[in-house]
A and B are shown apart, each in its own frame.
Chain A
Amino acid sequence: MRRFRAGAALAAAVLAAAGCGLGDAGPQGTAQGGAPSAAVTGEVKGKVTLQTWALKPKFTDYVQGVIDAFQKRYPGVTVEWLDQPGDGYSDKVLSQAASGTLPDVTNLPPDFALPLVKQGMLLDVAQADPKISDEYVAGGVEAYTYAGQQGVYGYPWYLNTDVNYWNSELMAKYGLDVKKPPTTFDELVAQARIMKEKSGGKVYLMSRRPELGDLAEAGVELMSADGKRFTFNTPEAAALLDKYRDAYKEGLLPRDVLTDTYAGNAKLFDEGTAAWTTGGGNYITSLAVDNPSLAPKVVPSPDMGVPPLYVQGLSVSKQTKNPAAAVALARWVTSPENQAAFAHLVSIFPSTKASAGDPFFSRSDGTNAGDAKVIAFASLAKAKMLQPVVVTDAMSKFVRQQFALAISGEVPSKQALDTAAAKCDELLAG
């Protein structure tokens, strides 16, 4: 993911530098705000393109089925489906936008959509479809609302969140009860201490470096309400960093956790060096492919604080020639029925309110992967987008460095937070 974002930041700068001249680049080029919203109520017909992100070939049948049903429902419409490879997606989207070839309906996560929203290239779907807030969950709709921009710039599609995963074998071996996993940070530290002592420092429970999202998870407001200033330099945040500093000093975290080459806790978890990681509802299923002998030993539990919300959505291009058909297609793909069918194939969760009562999500099939799905679904109710979309790679990197200084004890936590917040403000303004 990080790689994608680096590309996004760079290309976003290119997009911004090229300015409004970009609108003229393609044959479809129109002035900003060109598509009249009245047209959205027009007849659903013509040709529309749908772009998804790395769903082929695993979900080819599913997506094609959804498209076929749409074309059957609206006989005058033909849908062209493009599926883009996983790597380099934000670069691909930005080059499409810059050359005026953005597909009519595009799968964009909220942070990829931001540069396009700023350039006025996406349709405000709330204007085209005022009922959007009634039909989709609030967190999903909020993800596509941006500070300083009126409107909603995408239909929320599927959601996911993080669940805690524990290695039951390691926990049992080193004196911990996997049935009583830590539910607070302090309990986590206490259990990490037991594990360190019993394993002689070979196996860790904690192996995660805190980032901005962890502060938000602990209840710290990262930004001011108007989205113009970073506010994470609070005493609560400093207290959390202090706890990490003490744990690090005690040797409860791997020594290289603060370096940029750190492999990450999921990697250590896969190797059996760490007994805890976090991951989406789908984690055990993919682990079963990577490390089949480890997957059955994994036990899930709910997130310790405010669970993070991950949103995917479908945005509509402002330059579309058939806005009515494009909006109808975006609605169709994100409909409760089609999302539920998708969720049966892979552990993701629908963004439609109508899906909340679906017993499929609240009933486990008895496997640990099924339990994880149920836990994730329950967590979604209180999940929030933890990291603001305006946080760039440059900001994250600076924050990481400051946090590393604080945790290694070189700089007092409050001072590190102040420096990081000031730098982020500066980067935000620039």
Chain B
Amino acid sequence: MGTHARSPRGGGLNATGPGEKALRYVLLALMLALTVSPFLWQLSTSLKSLDEDIYSGTPSFLPEHPTLGNYAQVAETIPVWSYALNSLVVAAVVIAGNAVGATLAGYALAKLRFRGAKLLLGLFLATLVLPGEVTIVSQYVTIRGLGLADTLLGVALPGAIGMLNVLLMRTAFMAIPAEMDEAAVIDGATAWQRLLRIGLPNVRGMLSVITIFAFIGAWDDFLWPLIVLSDPENYTLTVGLQYLNGTFTANPRLIAAGTMISFVPIVIVFAALQRFFFRGVEEGAIKG
């Protein structure tokens, strides 16, 4: 970047010259284009009408005859709203399970001393090593044994406490200085009081991170709901959208429109929580 990398007037560590600033924006714009273009392509496909080519050597992002007809047709073909509702139910159970369960488990592992804590942590870590696909059949047999096959609870339950989320919460609780806890103990606070008064206010960021992760995980999951559910009435949105992709008939415009519909709630959740989200992501960095 050469000569004008540092502005003589700035002085501070974060000061940047106009050249470097421009370079940063160019790089950022490049990254943005890379990550956003597939999404834009999908969006433009969903708006194209039936007489336009979808796959071409030079993809055109602007539909020639934009139409919302594909969205209407998706709603006609499959009961989008009831599928979305099913997905929401699953997502709500998973979020509640993770927010409560991972917080409690994370706090216990980080702050409470009990026999076998190390062993427990090791076991949690060990379950992370197994890819989900390996255990999926035995998990299904378990869910069936509980009588939860073909229910939304059966879909939600295995994801209700994510081991990774427990570890994340544990890390967040570890970042709280031990002295604060000790002071509270001297004041006579019980474990519950310490969790509620000292622990929780300090991990809100991480909590929103696992909420978003849990939501996206539950909302986007395909294989597990497919295996658990057999009655089409109970399908979640990701499974139900597959009806747009039939054996002999797959209209890419409809599939794109369905994808867009299923994408909207993720945007809403992220927009609502993003303030906390970035705080949560940075939390590990300010530990010290």
Contact = CB atoms under 8 A, between A and B. Distances in A.
Interface of A: 7, 10-11, 14-15, 18, 25-26, 53-59, 82-88, 91-92, 94-95, 98-99, 101, 267, 270-273, 282, 286, 289-294, 346, 348
B226 A55 contact: no
Contacts of B137: 11, 14-15, 18, 94-95, 98-99
A50 B243 CA distance: 18
14 contacts: A7-B133, A14-B136, A14-B138, A18-B138, A54-B242, A56-B246, A57-B243, A82-B230, A85-B239, A86-B247, A87-B242, A101-B149, A273-B57, A289-B50
A94 B55 CA distance: 35
Contact of B222 (A83, A87, A282): A87
Contact of B223 (A15, A88, A346): A88
Given A54-B247, A55-B247, A95-B137, A290 B242 contact: no
A55 B246 contact: yes
Interface core residue of A53, A94, A98 (most chain B CB under 10 Å): A98
B114 interface: no
Given A18-B137, A54-B242, A286 B56 contact: no
Contact of A91 (B77, B136, B141, B149): B136
B250 interface: yes
Interface of B: 50-57, 77-78, 133-134, 136-138, 140-141, 144, 149, 222-223, 226-227, 230, 232, 239, 242-243, 245-252
A26 B140 CA distance: 12
A360 B176 CA distance: 77
Contact of A98 (B140, B149, B230, B232): B140
B246 A292 contact: no
A57 B246 CA distance: 8
A87 B251 contact: no
A71 B60 CA distance: 51
Given A91-B136, A99-B144, A292-B51, A282 B57 contact: no
B166 to A, nearest CB: 26
Nearest to B145: A25
A14 B134 contact: yes
Given A56-B232, A291-B54, 11 more contacts: A10-B134, A26-B144, A54-B243, A56-B246, A58-B248, A84-B226, A87-B222, A270-B55, A289-B249, A290-B55, A293-B53
A95 B140 contact: yes
Nearest to B248: A346
Contacts of A82: 230
Nearest to B52: A292
A105 B123 CA distance: 42
B140 A88 contact: no
A83 B144 CA distance: 20
A96 to B, nearest CB: 8
B56 A289 contact: no
Contacts of A271: 55-57
Contacts of B249: 58, 286, 289
A56 B89 CA distance: 25
B247 A53 contact: yes
A57 B78 contact: yes
Interface core residue of A14, A267, A348 (most chain B CB under 10 Å): A14
Nearest to B245: A86
Contacts of A95: 136-137, 140, 227
Interface core residue of B50, B77, B136 (most chain A CB under 10 Å): B136
A59 B246 CA distance: 9
B56 A85 contact: no
Given A99-B140, A99-B144, A271-B56, A282 B50 contact: no
A276 to B, nearest CB: 16
A14 B137 CA distance: 7
Contacts of A56: 232, 243, 246
B140 A58 contact: no
B222 A88 contact: yes
B247 A57 contact: no
B252 A88 contact: no
A91 B283 CA distance: 40
Contacts of A85: 226, 239, 242-243, 245
Contacts of A15: 137
